[in-house]
Every structure is written in structure tokens, then in C-alpha cells.
């Protein structure tokens, strides 16, 4: 599959504790990464292909990238998203970019808790269908809005410790779904194995 249509066009930059940076994965690094992913239970199938990418850090900790492995984590949601879409967590804007490629997507609401991430990413999302809120996914109220598609991506790591928060968000936003509908969380399928 060609993942290039989901890659982001953000410049390098920093705002507060957050930093966007470009990086390159060589063929040798990709081979090593695929080998490491193959022997790691939690990272199986998440190797990185050689190429040029963008990544987001917070206080020196990698939060996300636009590598094919990371895009694959979101691809199912991007494929099923229709109608009014809610995305909790802006990150690099990969999921936003993906759903905006679809004619079947109407309004897209994004909640992002970090003003710094909004400063770094929001100016490069130019589509009238998108509203980006500085808001916490656990407390934001949709004020009468209903959604067909909801995606939660607020965690830095694939970790079973995130499962309770995922369940809490699914219960909370289940009340705002309208049919047809889908609600999911980043890498929940890997955690529940």
C-alpha cells in the first residue's frame, strides 16, 4: 500500500516542550528495526521502511511519526470514517489528513490538550471542514453534536495501562454516536490480545 498520501508536510519547529523534526531511515536501519520488531511481541509487524519521515517529541520522548507502521495503526479508522468525525488527539495530523481525503467525511472536530501541538500542527491543516479545539478528551462536551466516527489517540505508548482510559472514553463518547457509527482507540487491538 502507498502510505505517502498520509504523510504530513510540516516544517521542523518547536513550541514549549513539543518539537517536530524530520528524520531519515536508511536501508540498514530499516533492516535492524524490522528484525527487532519481529522478535518483540508488542511491536510485531510495526517495522519501519527506509525513507524520509516526520516525528513529534514531547520533552525528548517520541510521541508519534508518519512512518508506514504508525499510519497502519490508524488505517482502519481512516478507512471506516464517514460523516461527522471526532478525533481526540491531534498529534502530527496524520489521521486528520487521512479522513479529509474521503468525500464521505463531513465535519471533523479535533480535541487536543496541548496548545503547543496546536501551534505546531494546526496552521498546516487547511480545510474548512476541520475545527481544532484546545480541549481535554475526558472533559470536553460536544454541545449537541453527534458523530458517526470517533477516534481516540491520546497515548504515547502501546501499553495495557491505557486500556482503562480507552474504556472510559468509549463509554463517554458512545452517547454522542449516531448511526452508522464506529468508535476506536489507537492500538487497542494490540493491548487486548
Cell readout for 48 is: 519501519
- Provide the Cα torsion 113, 116, 120, 126; round to 10°: 40
pLDDT for res 118: 98
Sheet of strand 51-58: strand arrangement = 13-15, 18-25, 51-58, 61-65
Q: Which helix (H) or strand (E) holds 184?
A: strand 177-185
Q: How is the chain split into domains, by residue range?
A: 4-69, 72-191
pLDDT for res 46: 59
pLDDT for res 47: 65
pLDDT for res 36: 65
C-alpha 151/C-alpha 25 separation (Å) is 28
Question: 72-191, which class in CATH?
Answer: alpha beta
C-alpha 66/C-alpha 56 separation (Å) is 9
Mean pLDDT, 10 residues at a time, over the chain (193 residues)? 86 98 90 68 62 96 92 93 98 97 97 98 97 98 95 88 93 94 88 73
pLDDT for res 191: 74
* Three-class secondary structure assignment of 4-61: HHHCCCCCCEEECCEEEEEEEECHHHHHHHHHHHHHCCCCCCCCCCCEEEEEEEECCE
C-alpha 120/C-alpha 21 separation (Å) is 11
Amino acid at each position: 500500500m502507498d502510505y505517502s498520501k498520509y504523510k504530513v508536510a510540516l516544517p521542523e519547529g518547536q513550541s514549549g516542550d513539543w518539537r517536530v523534526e524530520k528524520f531519515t531511515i536508511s536501508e540498514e536501519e530499516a533492516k535492524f528495526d524490522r528484525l527487532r520488531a519481529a522478535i518483540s511481541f508488542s511491536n510485531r509487524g510495526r517495522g519501519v521502511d527506509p525513507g524520509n519521515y516526520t516525528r513529534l517529541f514531547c520533552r525528548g520522548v517520541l510521541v508519534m511519526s508518519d512512518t508506514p507502521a504508525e499510519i497502519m495503526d490508524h488505517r482502519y479508522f481512516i478507512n471506516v470514517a464517514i460523516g461527522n468525525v471526532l478525533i481526540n488527539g491531534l498529534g502530527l495530523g496524520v489521521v486528520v489528513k487521512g479522513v479529509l481525503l474521503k468525500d464521505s467525511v463531513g465535519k471533523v472536530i479535533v480535541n487536543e490538550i496541548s496548545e503547543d501541538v496546536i501551534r505546531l500542527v494546526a496552521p498546516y491543516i487547511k480545510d474548512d471542514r476541520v475545527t481544532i479545539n484546545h480541549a481535554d478528551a475526558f472533559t470536553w462536551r460536544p454541545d449537541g453534536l453527534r458523530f458517526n466516527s470517533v477516534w481516540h489517540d491520546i497515548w504515547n505508548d502501546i501499553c495495557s495501562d491505557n486500556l482503562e482510559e480507552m474504556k472510559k472514553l468509549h463509554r463517554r463518547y458512545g452517547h454522542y454516536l449516531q448511526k452508522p457509527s464506529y468508535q476506536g482507540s489507537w492500538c487497542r487491538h494490540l493491548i487486548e490480545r
